[in-house]
Amino acid sequence: MGQTIYERYGGFKTISRVVMTFYEMALDSEQIGGHFEDIDMPRLIDHQTKFVSSLVGGPASFSDDRIEAVHRHLNISHEDFDEMAALFSEALSMHGMEDAHIKVALDAIESKRSIIVTRDAA
């Protein structure tokens, strides 16, 4: 069996850097930056690093029920989700992930859209 994407790119340490880069961009985003006001960012970064790690073959998986419960009150739109995915793709690329592996990671994130998005376009 080959290496997982998680293993290939250096595991938790690399995923943590990707997640921090993503949140730096997300906080500056006019589309989604407002979702992160009054949020415990170190805690969020820790959880998101574990979540992303699980999506690319690392440990610490989260159940869909848990993911849905955490996002339910956030009123996330499809446009918000699209912006998040675009920024995350950019962060992965900035940290040297190959396009084919970025697609795998984004496909894994896309598979969670229906439990993260809670509102239609305004």
Listed by start position, the domains of the chain span 7-30+39-116
The pLDDT score that the predictor gives to residue 2 is 78
The pLDDT score that the predictor gives to residue 1 is 58
pTM of the model: 0.90
Rounded CA-CA distance 56/101 in Å is 9
Rounded CA-CA distance 113/103 in Å is 15
Top-level CATH class of 7-30+39-116? mainly alpha
Residue 23: count other Cβ atoms within 10 Å of its Cβ.
Answer: 18
Residue 122 has pLDDT above 60, yes or no: no
Taking the mean position of all CA atoms in its chain, how far away is CA 22?
Answer: 8
Residue 28: count other Cβ atoms within 10 Å of its Cβ.
Answer: 10
Please, which residues have CB within 8 angstroms of residue 46's CB and are 6 or more apart in sequence?
none
Helix locations, the chain, DSSP H: 5-8, 11-28, 41-55, 64-71, 78-94, 99-110, 113-116
DSSP 33: G
- Confidence class of residue 121 from pLDDT cuts 50, 70 and 90? low
Average pLDDT over residues 1-14: 90
